[in-house]
Amino acid sequence: MYSEPTTFSAEEYFATQLPPPTLQHEIERVREFISRQAKEGRNVVLVTSGGTTVPLELNVVRFLDNFSAGTRGATSAEYFLKAGYAVIFMHRQFSLQPFSRHYSHSTNPFLDFLEIDGVDQEGSPPIVSVTPSKRADLLDVLTMYKAVHAEGTLHTLTFVTVNDYLWLLRAVSQELSVLERKAMFYLAAAVSDFFLPRQRMSEHKIQSGKGSLHIEMDQVPKILKPMVDEWTKDGFIVSFKLETDDNLLLPKAKAALERYGHQVVIGNDLHRRKYEVVFVSRKAGTSPRASPPGSPTSAANEDQFEEYWLRIPIPDASIPPHQVKEIEEDIIVELVKRHTAWVSRT
Amino acid sequence: MYSEPTTFSAEEYFATQLPPPTLQHEIERVREFISRQAKEGRNVVLVTSGGTTVPLELNVVRFLDNFSAGTRGATSAEYFLKAGYAVIFMHRQFSLQPFSRHYSHSTNPFLDFLEIDGVDQEGSPPIVSVTPSKRADLLDVLTMYKAVHAEGTLHTLTFVTVNDYLWLLRAVSQELSVLERKAMFYLAAAVSDFFLPRQRMSEHKIQSGKGSLHIEMDQVPKILKPMVDEWTKDGFIVSFKLETDDNLLLPKAKAALERYGHQVVIGNDLHRRKYEVVFVSRKAGTSPRASPPGSPTSAANEDQFEEYWLRIPIPDASIPPHQVKEIEEDIIVELVKRHTAWVSRT
């Protein structure tokens, strides 16, 4: 299944692939947002969320994708907002978003709880209102939603492809560096490890009927390294590791910290991610060794890391969805605590 | 990019791949739905919608996908319901659905037009109602939605993978055959041409860092042939061809009719699909030649087909989305006319 790697450095990647056409415009709006939050004294967190696609054709019909509805990112963004953070929510188009996530068109369609009440005034259309039994739940969400919009503490950005994601991430990180330690990066998006360079993409829809499909892709550059070293200045960076094989979770989390030198890896197993996560971080007073490029990833020194397991009970199926405890609530409490310590340590 | 094909027949496919665990349960509900519609004298259309995924791992993290928000299918389902059809809406999880499609969480979030009005009665939560300026648009959609639910003319099924899709399609087609000519099949889903047999799937997440990714997949069996010959009895079958290369559209549509012997192919170009489609069908009195399996697809006899182009003006960007003419309205008018003629021809 594998051949020898074609490894792009981040620098080579950005030198050979094209930015999304709206990038400049988007970044100006991000700059305004950050500058307003800075004036108002808020911490800002960049939350990335949802999967990225890898188009296989220039006129995109088919693409490789990563599984992610965006639950972790959308839920976490809400708790960051509740904790007083301003949030740049950078998410995959059509993935879940804070607040509206409670009203999925599939599982909780809002049209089901609207009622036509009869005529308000002569000639004007009938009043449409929310069924009394649904009001209490909706009111919580709606009140928070309106407060966030009134305060202007949520800014939403959209990506589809892994290329959109990489360009946006770099540009937003650079903008956030003005906040220094007051910026947090919560990288919950499920980013493809592979991409198909523009130069090798098929212009039209790949025709079937000719045989089985082979796709040869290149590795996406590891962007945490330049993010830590170049793009940001003292930002508090949290990355995620999702695995289905438990034995790989901790070694891979530690290897990532060793290699990139950022602050926290949150490890989670695909099937237990709603009830259990592990925070892996470097012990105070230790620092990543300056290892030669290409040195084995298993060489991370076990003694230099600490693990903090966070678990919540698996919710009883009889509890209404709105009242179920979400693990993101506790994740954000823990991160805000760590980030506060990080900000004060100047 | 290609090797020699591994071609599965539909029979081989279903003999070697596993059905989705909920299939039996789903099909019992479909049977009840069809039986009720038959009693009430309605025509029933199966609308398939959205893209299918091809999982690359058993514990799915990565998958190949087809671009489709499900706009064509969701919009068409609404017009079929308006035309008095009962609709089995078989769609990709999280793709657009009839009615709620007007209120995308990204472009038209419903939370934006809800207002908190103050207290209704002492002790009960405040009334939440729809902003007057949004009422008229919403009322149209909501009235139709409530009527469809009251009459029970919409049944929704969900798929994710191409395997789910194939099993569901076969089972639903077999159930619909009791309606004979009164059943229509409107196959608007964007179905993968390739799949990865369960037997070759990786159990865990494919590890990156070892090199570039190669994926060797097999061809999905052509299911229109067994659908026409075995699964359905006299159903009116409409398939779609989406291309980005105009020169391929008509030849491929005609080749499909020649090969499978169904009633209509609707051809559309990826970039003009909202304003222009072409109905390709066999002229009255002609019939597909009994060609030996594997004979070239370009051999379709041009004289035996007719083309019917359907176009609407490209809408002015100043028209509010709710008032924009949708091409699906005209597609469904044309199909209902053809299906009515088909039903009367016994």
Concatenated DSSP letters of A155-215: EEEEE-BHHHHHHHHHHHHHHHGGGGGGEEEEE-SB--SEE--GGG-BSSPPP-SSS-BEE
At A6 the pLDDT is: 63
Residue B290 above 60 pLDDT?
A: no
Closest-CA residue of chain A to B296: A209
Examine the domain organization and report whether A216 and A314 are in the same domain: no
At B62 the pLDDT is: 78
Q: Which of A228, A178, A153, A184 is nearest to A336 (CA)?
A: A184
Chain centre distance of CA A28: 21
Cβ-defined contact of A64 to B66 (cutoff 8 Å): no
* Mutation site for A-interface testing, chosen from B99, B213, B219 by largest number of A Cβ within 10 Å: B213
Examine the domain organization and report whether A180 and A307 are in the same domain: no
Residue B116 lies inside a defined structural domain of this protein: no
Examine the domain organization and report whether A229 and A251 are in the same domain: no
Examine the domain organization and report whether A30 and A1 are in the same domain: yes
- Measure B342 CA to nearest chain A CA, in Å: 32
Residue B111 lies inside a defined structural domain of this protein: no
At A67 the pLDDT is: 76
At B298 the pLDDT is: 47
Residue B116 above 90 pLDDT?
A: no
- Chains A and B form CB pairs within 8 A to the count of 245
Please tell me the distance from the alpha carbon of residue B63 to that of residue B161, in angstroms, as a whole number. Answer: 9
> Domain of B280: which CATH number?
3.40.50.10300
Joined tokens for residue A58: 């220039």
- Report the residue from B93, B105, B243 with minimal CB separation from A205: B243
Runs of H (alpha helix) within A232-277: 246-260
Q: Which residues of A touch B2 (CB under 8 A)?
A: 210-214
At A70 the pLDDT is: 93
Examine the domain organization and report whether A156 and A204 are in the same domain: yes
Residue B59 above 60 pLDDT?
A: yes
Examine the domain organization and report whether A178 and A197 are in the same domain: yes
Residue B4 lies inside a defined structural domain of this protein: no
DSSP letter at B283 equals P
Examine the domain organization and report whether A250 and A224 are in the same domain: no
Query: B156-175 pLDDT, tens per residue?
Result: 999 999 999 999 999 999 99
On whether any CB of chain B is under 8 Å from the CB of A61, the answer is yes
Examine the domain organization and report whether A225 and A267 are in the same domain: no
Query: B301-329 pLDDT, tens per residue?
Result: 778 999 999 999 988 888 887 788 999 99
- Report the residue from A1, A204, A242 with minimal CB separation from B244: A204
At A195 the pLDDT is: 86
Cβ-defined contact of A158 to B106 (cutoff 8 Å): yes
Examine the domain organization and report whether A211 and A344 are in the same domain: no
Q: Quick one: pLDDT band at residue B285, thresholds 50, 70, 90? A: confident
Examine the domain organization and report whether A99 and A203 are in the same domain: yes
Residue A338 lies inside a defined structural domain of this protein: yes
At B207 the pLDDT is: 59
Residue B242 above 80 pLDDT?
A: yes
Residue B71 lies inside a defined structural domain of this protein: yes
Put the strands of the sheet holding A62-66 in their side by side order.
Answer: A53-55, A62-66, B62-66, B53-55
Please tell me the distance from the alpha carbon of residue A87 to that of residue A78, in angstroms, as a whole number. Answer: 9
Please tell me the distance from the alpha carbon of residue B329 to that of residue B312, in angstroms, as a whole number. Answer: 10
Would you say the ipTM is above 0.90?
A: no
Please tell me the distance from the alpha carbon of residue A227 to that of residue A184, in angstroms, as a whole number. Answer: 12
What is the arithmetic mean of pLDDT over B37-54? 96
At A56 the pLDDT is: 80
What is the arithmetic mean of pLDDT over B193-218? 70
What is the arithmetic mean of pLDDT over B76-101? 96
* Mutation site for A-interface testing, chosen from B128, B159, B200 by largest number of A Cβ within 10 Å: B128
Residue B5 lies inside a defined structural domain of this protein: no
- Measure B177 CA to nearest chain A CA, in Å: 28
List the 200-239 stretch of B: residues with Cβ below 8 A of A.
Answer: 202, 204-219
Please count the structural domains in chain B: 1
Cβ-defined contact of B194 to A216 (cutoff 8 Å): no
Residue B118 lies inside a defined structural domain of this protein: no
Q: Which of A21, A73, A3 is nearest to A242 (CA)?
A: A73
Closest-CA residue of chain B to A100: B105
Identify whether the C-beta of residue B97 lies closer than 8 Å to the C-beta of residue A105: yes
More reliable by pLDDT, B213 or B283: B283
At A18 the pLDDT is: 93
List, for chain A, all residue ranges whose pLDDT scores fall below the cut of 70: 1-6, 59-60, 118-124, 202-214, 289-300, 346
Domain stop point among A181, A205, A234: A234
At A211 the pLDDT is: 53
Domain stop point among A234, A261, A290: A234
Which residue segment(s) compose the domain that A67 sits in? 1-103+144-234
Q: Quick one: pLDDT band at residue B1, thresholds 50, 70, 90? A: very low
Residue A120 lies inside a defined structural domain of this protein: no
Examine the domain organization and report whether A150 and A223 are in the same domain: yes
Domain stop point among A181, A207, A234: A234
Please tell me the distance from the alpha carbon of residue B194 to that of residue B54, in angstroms, as a whole number. Answer: 8
Identify whether the C-beta of residue A335 lies closer than 8 Å to the C-beta of residue A264: yes
Residue A209 falls in which region: left (phi positive, over 0), alpha (psi -120 to 50) or beta: left
Examine the domain organization and report whether A54 and A155 are in the same domain: yes
